[in-house]
Structure 1
Amino acid sequence: MGAARRRIGAALGVAGMVVPLTVALGSTPAQAASCTTRTGPYQKQVEKFLGRPVDGRQSPADCTAIRAFQTKHGISPNIGYAGPVTWGVMDLMNQQKAAGRNPNKAGKCPTNKGRIACVDLTRQLSWIQDGKTLEYGPVPVRTGRDKYETRTGAKKIYWRNKNHYSSIYKVKMPYSQFFDGGQAFHSISGSVWSPPGSHGCVNMRSGDAKAYWNMLKKGDDVFVYGRKPGT
């Protein structure tokens, strides 16, 4: 019995040495998802966006900041790599910020109909306008992904359901205002910048969807134009 115990103890001792070695080699799932040391093709742009020192070289601090951004906005894999998807989201945010308080400067949304909800797919922006007066927004939105594009053109809100639930996608759609088939304005719980996009609806942050609910009514005009990046 004493010899058997000694053999078991020796085996456990060997196992104790093997496990740390395996972890160190990075073969565990946790290690596979760790911060990358690779410098991405958009390193400088991403560093500038995040307020990091712009040297074009990946550092542990850069990776931590990039990963935090990726995690917040549902970008996968969130390994801190400054790739095209991450920069695409940041670049879109820059364009949205540049719209300022005059999102319809190019005059692409018709504003001669009274109150209208405009949706610019290219910049992923929406706002409510009444003539020349900007009533609300512009606010960031998340529209249809490739193969599920939000349809363009002139529409009208035809049905509203404050506590709608999608029987197709099995998700809650608070403050739903339908304007084209199954496509509607509604709030989501995640980030409106999360790629690749919705199944056709115009996703909004909760506060914005609530404001739209309070400001719009059945029969109000909606105009959708442009093209979402990647579709």
Structure 2
Amino acid sequence: MAIGAGPAAAAPACNAKKGPHQKQVEKFLGRPVDGKQSKADCRAIRAFQQKHGISPGIGYAGPLTWQVMNTMIQQDAAGKNPNKAGKCPVNKGRIACVDLTRQLSWIQDGRTLKFGPVPVRTGRDGEETRGGLKQIYWRNIDHVSSIYDVPMPYAQFFDGGQAFHSTTKSMWNPPGSAGCVNMRPSDAKTYWNMLKNGDDVYVYGRKPGT
């Protein structure tokens, strides 16, 4: 142990009780689907919770854990046709689409998919990412928030203080952002390279839990 370092924090104790979404969570994690909480089930659930910042990370198959997993399932189902339902406009040329319901974003040109879809992390309950048709009006590759004093790399603002920008948090980390559309660093960089001031952004749907 390094000088001055305290003892390592102990892992939270596992919850021995089965959760209301036990079978669904077991299936998602590739565990035996028996609806019973085992020690191995708990360890697998707890590892998933800790990876994505789900609290409390005690291995309980509760509503929030299943909500995150279900969002991942919907994202996988989108494949390479995220606008199959036609909800993002196809008559605007280059446009960045943000589907709050599935927590996905992509760039299309007319009906042609140019990039994505990629997972995003949008505004939490009470600080939702606002819906509607918008335009990118200001970009700052090394932006730092004047409100939260945190870095916002590759920031592209499209609605007041709401912007696309990079974050190091998991895209599935609840409850969400303070309104911005958080992206993985590589995705935010690609958006920066593909978009410019004046490009359209369309936000629609409703984030689970808001």
- Show the counterpart of 1:35: 14
Q: Which letter maps to 1:102? A: N
CA distance in 1, matches of 2:92, 2:179: 25
TM value normalised by structure 2: 0.94
- SS of 1:207's partner is helix
Once the two structures are superposed, what CA deviation does each residue of 1:59-114 show, in whole Å capped at 9, x if it has no partner? 11111111110011000000000000000000000011111111111111101111
- SS of 1:58's partner is coil
TM value normalised by structure 1: 0.86
- Show the counterpart of 1:128: 107
Q: Which letter maps to 1:46? A: V
Q: How many residues matched?
A: 202
Q: Which letter maps to 1:97? A: D
- Show the counterpart of 1:162: 141
| Structure 1 residue 131: Cα displacement | 1.0
Runs of 5+ consecutive residues of structure 1 not aligned to the other structure: 1-28
- Show the counterpart of 1:186: 165
- SS of 2:92's partner is coil
Q: Which of structures 1 and 2 has the bigger CA Rg?
A: 1
Q: Which letter maps to 2:115? A: Y
- Hey, which of these two has a bigger chunk of helix by percent? 1
Q: Which letter maps to 2:112? A: T
Write out aligned runs for 1:2-41 (5 A): 30=10, 33-41=12-20
| Structure 1 residue 176: Cα displacement | 0.3
| Structure 1 residue 227: Cα displacement | 0.8
CA distance in 1, matches of 2:16, 2:209: 27
CA distance in 1, matches of 2:149, 2:39: 39
- SS of 1:210's partner is helix
- SS of 1:186's partner is strand
- Show the counterpart of 1:94: 73
Once the two structures are superposed, what CA deviation does each residue of 1:143-166 show, in whole Å capped at 9, x if it has no partner? 111110111111000000111111
CA distance in 2, matches of 1:36, 1:206: 34
CA distance in 2, matches of 1:220, 1:111: 13
CA distance in 2, matches of 1:30, 1:188: 27
- SS of 1:155's partner is strand
